[in-house]
Amino acid sequence: MNLFLQEIPASELAPKAVQETPAPGKDPLIARGLQKEQYAGIIGLAIALIAAVGFFSRRVEYAIAFALIISIFLIALFLFV
């Protein structure tokens, strides 16, 4: 069995320069300034979900709406107390 083996020079394996990590707050992978649109989309999706469930069952719609209101109240209570 004849296998061709190629040797890689050590200089190609070693990095040529040291790269610094970007400063905090300048990460290109984090989308900044989209929070308002995201919250609007989430609220719109929640309203659409409650409306879709309410189309089939009013009791379930009222239960979801009640749980959502209680959750918002408890979150606000724990954040500000």
In the predicted model, what is the mean pLDDT of residues 22-37? 73
Calculate the CA dihedral of residues 12, 13, 17, 19 and round it to 10 degrees.
140
Q: Is 10's pLDDT higher than 60?
A: no
Alpha helix segments (H runs only) across 1-81: 10-13, 35-56, 58-80
Whether the CB-CB separation of 50 and 64 falls below 8 Å is answered with: yes
- In the predicted model, what is the mean pLDDT of the chain? 78
Decide: pTM greater than 0.85.
no
pLDDT in tens, 52-70: 888 888 888 888 889 989 9
28/63: higher pLDDT: 63
Q: Is 48's pLDDT higher than 70?
A: yes
- What CA–CA distance (Å, rounded) separates 19 from 17? 6
